[in-house]
Amino acid sequence: MESMISVKGLTKAYASGFQALRNIDLDIHRGEIFALLGPNGAGKTTLINIICGIVRPTAGIILADGHDVVRDFRAARSRIGLVPQELSTDMFEKVRATVSFSRGLFGQPPDAARIEQVLRAVSLWDQRDAKIMTLSSGMKRRVMIAKALAHDPDILFLDEPTAGVDVELRRDMWAMVRGLRASGVTIILTTHYIEEAEEMADRVGVISKGEIILVEEKATLMRKLGKKQLRIQLLTPLSAIPTALARYPLELGGNGCELVYTFDTQGEGSGIAGLLRQLNDAGIGFRDLHSSESSLEDIFVSLVSARA
């Protein structure tokens, strides 16, 4: 797979001496949506700011589309659009003017048609002449995205794009980001909403205390670490798990009225038929069955807590 961003041996110690990133190796593939997940203070923004050339690395080599982000800053930065975590823009400025201005900052010639395209892509064309201060916060975020896209970058960083955005707007935003990917933009987003990574990402990276602890295809991750649970509602409560069922990983719940069977999603359906037969043989009747699958959130919580 071709690398759009390549990070090797990246370490960052802030002036305070605080070690924010430790020996990070990471490759982002051309055309993917990569979600970087991690708790507050894990180092997500630091990593993004270093790749964007805003913060200097202490050690390591970072290439963006083949350009060294430190030595060849201008070339690297021109490939990158960044929507920072903290919104900052001139509130008195009008939407279209501010987006056009951003394009100019990267030395691109004015291009009214392109600016229109970008504003339409983020559903802000109708607001093109509105002052930014008059927009809702979801719209302001989209202005930031339009600004980041104004110079036609191939790589887009979205640092917490939907923090504080309501569910409906978040869905709009996801659709928009997917549209950008379809147009060939490589997207890296950070998020606290695991639902967002689950919904959007092709691959997921988990960062904790300045270290990347896992990078995986989302589907593989869910398959590898996902668990399924089968909840069996019993007709008569049990006081203990019968010895005949001892070889199954079962737990008794609901005051003895429920048997909970946990298994890996890898061995899809493994053992259920046998378990139900055993229940029957042991004369344990049940009235209902429910199955559930762990979400990326469950996986994430167990990954991060396992290392705490």
Please give the residue ranges that form the binding site for ligand ATP (CB under 6 A): 14, 16, 18, 20, 38, 40-46, 85
* Minimum gap (Å) between residue 212 Cβ and ligand ATP: 12
* 152 close to 63: Cβ distance less than 8 angstroms: no
Could you say which of Mg ion, ligand ATP, none residue 18 binds, taking C-beta under 5 to 8 angstroms by partner kind? Answer: ligand ATP
Could you say which of Mg ion, ligand ATP, none residue 46 binds, taking C-beta under 5 to 8 angstroms by partner kind? Answer: ligand ATP
* 217 close to 203: Cβ distance less than 8 angstroms: yes
* 20 close to 12: Cβ distance less than 8 angstroms: yes
Is the Cβ of residue 46 or residue 98 nearer to ligand ATP in the bound state? 46
Is the Cβ of residue 44 or residue 203 nearer to Mg ion in the bound state? 44
Could you say which of ligand ATP, Mg ion, none residue 127 binds, taking C-beta under 5 to 8 angstroms by partner kind? Answer: none
Q: Specify which residues 11 forms β-bridges with.
A: 59
Q: What does 207-256 look like in DSSP terms, one character per residue?
A: EETTEEEEEEEHHHHHHHH-EEEEEEEESS--SS--GGGTTS-EEEEGGG
Give residues in contact with Mg ion (CB under 5 A).
44-45, 85
* Minimum gap (Å) between residue 45 Cβ and Mg ion: 3
* Minimum gap (Å) between residue 200 Cβ and ligand ATP: 17
* Minimum gap (Å) between residue 149 Cβ and Mg ion: 21
Burial 95-127 (b: 16+ CB within 10 A, else e): bbebbbebbeebeeeeeeebbeebbebbbbeeb
* Minimum gap (Å) between residue 15 Cβ and ligand ATP: 6
Q: Where is 67: in which H helix or E strand? A: strand 67-68
Is the Cβ of residue 115 or residue 156 nearer to Mg ion in the bound state? 156
Could you say which of ligand ATP, Mg ion, none residue 42 binds, taking C-beta under 5 to 8 angstroms by partner kind? Answer: ligand ATP
Could you say which of Mg ion, ligand ATP, none residue 41 binds, taking C-beta under 5 to 8 angstroms by partner kind? Answer: ligand ATP
Q: Where is 25: in which H helix or E strand? A: strand 19-29
Could you give the 3-state DSSP secondary structure of residue 86?
coil
Is the Cβ of residue 53 or residue 161 nearer to Mg ion in the bound state? 161
Is the Cβ of residue 16 or residue 255 nearer to ligand ATP in the bound state? 16
**C-alpha span between 295 and 308 (Å, rounded):** 20
Burial 232-248 (b: 16+ CB within 10 A, else e): bebeeebeeeeeebeeb
Dihedral sign, Cα of residue 281, residue 282, residue 286, residue 292: negative
Q: Where is 258: in which H helix or E strand? A: strand 258-264
Is the Cβ of residue 14 or residue 291 nearer to ligand ATP in the bound state? 14
* Minimum gap (Å) between residue 171 Cβ and ligand ATP: 22
Could you say which of ligand ATP, Mg ion, none residue 20 binds, taking C-beta under 5 to 8 angstroms by partner kind? Answer: ligand ATP
Could you say which of Mg ion, ligand ATP, none residue 108 binds, taking C-beta under 5 to 8 angstroms by partner kind? Answer: none
Is the Cβ of residue 16 or residue 305 nearer to ligand ATP in the bound state? 16
Lookup result for tokens 């993004």: 48
* Minimum gap (Å) between residue 33 Cβ and ligand ATP: 19
